Amino acid sequence: MLLVALTDDHEKVRLAATTGIASWERPEARRALLNVSRHDPDIWVKRCAIERLGNARVGEAVPHLSALVADQSAPRLLRQAAVDALSRIGGADAEAAVSAAGSDGILSRSSPRHNGKIMQLTLAIFDQLRTLIYEKTGLHFQDNKKYLLESRLQVRLRERHCKTFEEYWHLLRYDAWRDKELIALFELVTTHETYFCRDAGQLQAFVDVAVPALLKANERTHRIRIWSAACSTGDEPYTLAMMLFEHQALAKWTIEILGSDISEAVLAQARSGRYGPYAVRQMPASLRQKYFTEEDGQFVLAPKVRQVVTFVNINLYDSARLKLIRDQDVIFCRNCLIYFDDKGKRKIVDSLYDSLRPGGYLIIGFSESLHGVGRSFKPLHANRTVMYQKA
């Protein structure tokens, strides 16, 4: 395998981009790939590099790819490749660019072709697909998200050699290996945007309000149990572990943190404990130096932190599976509920409520609310944020 490391060898990066025989784990390699996608004179090489950026989910590429999508003077081939890449990377900024591409007509004119005819995601198949996704995950694609789903599915159509979106729908329903394909589909439709020390105000409220209360409530057991739901690549549960390690009163306590996500790919990265500079950009330098070592441009988490976090694959819409999680002191479920409709929110929040011990805390995203969906939660205001306590 050709490993692209810190190098000025443009030809080597070009070869890796066009053949796929490379690892884009290292930040230097990703920067080199991004440089190829911007400046290479060969449009085909640029397109391949853009596809690799999407496959590797290079978050640093979102501004460049979004600008490319918006540039109507750029070749449509590259704009479409940028839309596909943004769909794979995910995140609010990427999704905004994809939605804009849909209204601009980029997707509809560059959809998969069969017998020379452009194949579009029809409203009927779109409705069937989003119903299936909703039934399995609770994720709801609104009518104005049709272009987003169409873009994300194109990579699966190509990989499964489906000539139409309808053919892909039948594969999901009747193919012998449909369960594996559903996993691949869920990987595409979920968003994995996260980083260490995200939304510091909420984290400080956790330290100022929840931790002192737990010191009293759990004085006999000397144990704290936390669940980071929809944890993506593990940045949040590892952040919580480091914050608890910094709390002197917890020095001899047992800390148990559970991190869960529906995507096995992001969980594999979480278990590796290796992160690029983008993931740790908001961390205080003191924490980064204390709990990470830098190797080949990546930040490797200390074993001490990794040992207190366990990762499991859990679909939050699977109520039966969630019944296995009980007696949690704190549940973080941030920036997740916004992707569900009210019915889905109620179902998930009910399960989270049952997973908390009496008096436990639920922390959701800044832009989220339990209004109309909560079950006997008492809102607590601290540090300009809201936490919810189980009554």
pLDDT on residue 114:
52
pLDDT on residue 15:
55
Are 313 and 379 contained in the same domain?
yes
Distance CA 90, CA 304 (A): 31
Are 140 and 76 contained in the same domain?
no
Taken in order 332, 211, 278, 258, the sign of the CA dihedral is negative
Q: What is the pLDDT of residues 138-173, one digit of tens each?
A: 888 888 788 778 878 888 888 888 989 999 999 998
Tallying the residues shown for the chain, one arrives at: 391
Tell me the CATH number at 305.
3.40.50.150
- Percent of residues, the chain, with pLDDT higher than 70: 88
Distance CA 314, CA 263 (A): 8
Contact by Cβ (8 Å): 258, 228: yes
Choice among 78-87, 111-120, 122-131 with the minimum mean pLDDT: 111-120
Averaged pLDDT, 256-284: 92
Identity at 31, one-letter amino acid code: R
Are 145 and 240 contained in the same domain?
no
Report how far apart, in Å, the C-alpha atoms of 212 and of each of 209, 226, 250, 288 are: 6, 15, 10, 25
Are 283 and 339 contained in the same domain?
yes
Residue where one domain finishes, among candidates 110, 138, 160: 110
Q: Tell me which residue range forms the domain holding 48.
A: 1-110
pLDDT on residue 197:
96
pLDDT above 90 (res 211): yes
At 13, the pLDDT band (50, 70, 90 cuts) reads low
Are 350 and 243 contained in the same domain?
yes
Averaged pLDDT, 357-369: 93
- Give the distance between the most distant pair of CA atoms in the chain: 71
Say how many domains are in the chain: 3
Report which of 43, 34, 40 is spatially closest to residue 65, judged by C-alpha positions.
Answer: 34
Are 158 and 218 contained in the same domain?
no
Report how far apart, in Å, the C-alpha atoms of 155 and of each of 36, 67, 143, 152 are: 22, 22, 21, 7
Contact by Cβ (8 Å): 260, 311: yes
Averaged pLDDT, 59-87: 84
Distance CA 267, CA 280 (A): 17
At 110, the pLDDT band (50, 70, 90 cuts) reads very low
Report which of 42, 24, 28 is spatially closest to residue 294, judged by C-alpha positions.
Answer: 28
Q: What is the pLDDT of residues 234-248, one digit of tens each?
A: 999 999 999 999 999
Are 159 and 204 contained in the same domain?
no
Residue where one domain finishes, among candidates 68, 93, 110: 110
Averaged pLDDT, 14-23: 54
Contact by Cβ (8 Å): 157, 168: yes
Residue where one domain finishes, among candidates 166, 191, 216: 191
Are 78 and 127 contained in the same domain?
no
CA 261 to chain centre: 9
Distance CA 220, CA 189 (A): 44
At 287, the pLDDT band (50, 70, 90 cuts) reads very high
Identity at 196, one-letter amino acid code: F
Are 85 and 32 contained in the same domain?
yes
